[in-house]
A and B are shown apart, each in its own frame.
Chain A
Amino acid sequence: MTDANTIGSPLLSVRDLQVTFGTREGDVRAVQGVSFDVRAGETVGIVGESGSGKSVTANSLMRLNFGADVKITGQVLLEGRDILAMSEEEVRSIRGRDVAMIFQDPLTALNPFYTVGSQIAEAYEIHHPGTPKKQLREIALDSLAKVGIPEPKKRIDQYPHEFSGGMRQRIVIAIALVNSPKLLIADEPTTALDVTVQAQILELIAAMQSEHGSAVILITHDLGVVAEITRRVMVMYAGKVVESASVDDVFATPTHPYTVGLLRSVKSLETQRHSRLEAIPGTPPSLINLPKGCPFHPRCAHAASLGGRCNADEPALQQIGRSETRCHLDAQTLARLGEVRA
């Protein structure tokens, strides 16, 4: 649903997002200066290991970061309005109506004490108070049918525990989409599901997206999932976006050593049967004690060749072809980084 005033300007515009959690051990700098745009109806993937800040970024978009000591700075502009600057009541009215979220674990995301029908109806009723009960039920029935729950008339009065994991995720999706949100954030929507169900859920998200015209931010650690439904990908590492490109470019010509490492660590049919899976050496850095310079340098094979630059200065974003990447290597090397793949 791209109407006149959203053409040109993005639906969502994140500027220099910083999220810090205060802990006893020190400040955890989970997200450090993330900026990106999402246009109406677009699908964007955010990929990274656990601890890369991808989920924290997603939660900040709806101000769902809780805990005793969270500090969020920067701007999250939804159609020009800064969500981070809104009052609690204003954010509440946006949650579930303009921005909705699909959670990782469908087994725990639904309220066990209410029927699935009432939970879908509730999501609608919150933002449309005074809707007659009968109409709410119709809406819930309709939503259940649309997300592919068989026999919705029978299932509407059942409780979450009477559904399988995949079915519950469909219900979570139904709840998220009942108000046709402008932006749908899917935080690892398939991670907790069986492989066979994963593809179905991704297809459903894609189908629902085209029906409701929502933009989608898909957060995952799985490059395969990203390839399935997104066009544009951001690769996050240690709280920063290290590479931003189209899906095709990321797979064909990755321009960041970390992305290359990620791609190599995925097993494919072409992988030799007895060959070792290539893993990125080392572990992600602690977000309390980040390494100086490029946060990836302790694990990067190229760091030595740059003679100390990597552990001194932070690399800036540079444009390589159609991709943006955050690396000290020169443009020519980066453009050909993917070719070295064995």
Chain B
Amino acid sequence: MLYFVIRRTAFAAVLLLVISAFTFWIFSALPADPAALTCGKNCRPEVIEANRERLGYDRPILEQYGSYMKGIFAGRDYGEEGASIHCSAPSLGYSYDRHECVTTLIAKTLPVTASLAFGAFVLWMFIGIGLGTMAALKRGRWPDRLATGFSVIGVSLPTFFLGLIFTMVFIIWTGLLPFPQYAGITENPGKWFSSLILPWFVLAIVSAATYVRMTRNGMLEVMNEEFVRLGIAKGLPRRRLIVKYVMRAALIPIVTIAGLDFAFLLGGALVTESIFNLPGLGKLTLAAVVNSDLPILVATTLVAAVFIVVANAVVDVLYGYLDPRVRVK
């Protein structure tokens, strides 16, 4: 098992290196000129060229990538208008648009996205697995229809639509909640909570729909397995049978998908963050796209990739732990 974990971690590290190179190359191949973006609209060509040289954009792409990677591990200095700004490790670049180290920007926005993702994740797993289990146990009766109905509605509702409806109902019409204004959990927990409760539910409802179906179908499938029949023949109490035999088997594939979904969400929930005015990674990315802020785009892409790769590795290890059949000796 330890060997498996080590091997999996090494693989993840190599994968990340490849992804970083690819991302770096993709963005350098864009038609946007990074040097031109460093000074305002009415910039003179001489300044652009000077900046290009000063910032190293004239160097070969491989060398640029090298100093970028070096920056991640050792920190890096960026020159701007005569002054030199130091971004300490791990430096993911410098935004000339915002005049800030990219790492600082990400450190500010990531907790917002993490709060959003984590809360929504917990909620949707509860709703998804709960409703799915209920549907499977009461197959064909009204709880099943209710859960299946919820699932169909959830799947077909886009995030932005549900988000706007929620805003209208809970904030504008009934005034149950204040207009969302994000605050960190440590500085103002009440405000943090009230700004996140609606986005949590929006994301949870939209994502839970799939989990309801997966849980329901998975459980119904497992219930037909011979080993479940043996469990009944042993005289297992129903509750124990459902948990130890049916759910245990049915939830394993769900763990895989849940891990990836969560990681994907951590990379930034663009739409939800925009609707509810949450200053998270998604909004940062969106703004960077609008302003062609390449250093931020490279960095947020990388960060999202890290989450996915790490989640993949964690899911693999977890899978080996949950299913003895795939465990490597």
Which A positions have Cβ atoms within 8 angstroms of B?
Answer: 62, 64, 68, 92-97, 100-101, 103, 105, 108-114, 122-123, 126-127, 159, 161, 172, 175
Contacts and interface: CB of A to CB of B under 8 A. Distances in A.
Given A111-B245, A113-B249, A62 B234 contact: no
Given A113-B249, A159-B325, A161-B324, A95 B230 contact: no
B30 to A, nearest CB: 49
B233 A64 contact: yes
A101 B323 CA distance: 26
A88 B226 CA distance: 20
B324 A127 contact: no
A126 B230 contact: no
Contact of A122 (B140, B232, B234): B234
B234 A95 contact: yes
B183 to A, nearest CB: 44
Nearest to B139: A68
Given A111-B245, A159-B324, A93 B229 contact: no
A94 B234 CA distance: 9
Given A103-B230, A172-B230, A113 B235 contact: no
Contacts of B71: none
Contacts of A64: 229, 232-233
A126 B233 contact: no
A141 to B, nearest CB: 19
Interface in B224-281: 225-227, 229-238, 244-245, 248-249
B235 A108 contact: no
A27 B324 CA distance: 42
Which 8 pairs across A and B sit closest by C-beta, in order of nearness?
Answer: A96-B235, A95-B235, A108-B226, A96-B234, A159-B324, A111-B227, A101-B233, A123-B234
A127 B240 CA distance: 13
A96 B233 contact: yes
B235 A110 contact: no
Contacts of B323: 112-113
Contacts of A94: 235
A123 B248 CA distance: 18
Contacts of A112: 227, 249, 323-325
A127 B325 CA distance: 29
Contacts of B226: 103, 105, 108-109
A127 B237 CA distance: 10
A127 B245 CA distance: 18
Given A110-B227, A111-B230, A113-B249, 18 more contacts: A68-B140, A101-B233, A103-B229, A103-B230, A108-B227, A109-B227, A109-B230, A110-B230, A111-B245, A111-B249, A112-B249, A113-B322, A113-B323, A113-B324, A114-B244, A126-B236, A172-B230, A175-B234
24 contacts: A92-B235, A92-B237, A93-B235, A95-B232, A95-B234, A95-B235, A97-B235, A100-B233, A101-B233, A103-B230, A105-B226, A109-B226, A111-B230, A111-B249, A112-B325, A113-B323, A123-B235, A126-B234, A126-B235, A159-B324, A161-B324, A161-B325, A175-B230, A175-B234
Contacts of B236: 92, 122, 126
B248 A62 contact: no
Interface string B193-232: 0000000000000000000000000000000011101111
A105 B233 CA distance: 15
A117 B113 CA distance: 45
Interface residues of B, number: 22
Contacts of A62: 233
Consensus secondary structure, chain B interface: helix
Contacts of B225: 108
Indicate the member of B230, B231, B249 with the most A CB atoms within 10 Å: B230
B215 to A, nearest CB: 17
A16 to B, nearest CB: 24
B328 to A, nearest CB: 13
A161 B248 CA distance: 17
A161 to B, nearest CB: 5
A159 B320 CA distance: 13
Indicate the member of A64, A113, A161 with the most B CB atoms within 10 Å: A113
Contacts of B238: 92
A209 B140 CA distance: 42
Indicate the member of B230, B234, B325 with the most A CB atoms within 10 Å: B234
A161 B231 CA distance: 17
Interface string B122-140: 0000000000000000001
B324 A111 contact: no
Interface in B134-168: 140
A92 B231 CA distance: 11
Contacts of B231: 111
A341 B155 CA distance: 67
Indicate the member of B231, B244, B245, B322 with the most A CB atoms within 10 Å: B231
A114 B240 CA distance: 14
A172 B227 CA distance: 10
A161 B233 CA distance: 21
Contacts of A100: 233
Contacts of B322: 113
A122 B227 CA distance: 14
Contacts of A127: 235
Nearest to B228: A111
A126 B234 CA distance: 8
B242 to A, nearest CB: 13
A191 B102 CA distance: 67
Contact of A95 (B140, B233, B245, B325): B233
Nearest to A161: B325
A114 B230 CA distance: 13
A105 B245 CA distance: 18
A145 to B, nearest CB: 21
Contacts of B230: 101, 103, 109-111, 172, 175
Nearest to B325: A161
A108 B232 CA distance: 14
B229 A113 contact: no
Nearest to A122: B234
Contacts of B233: 62, 64, 95-96, 100-101, 103
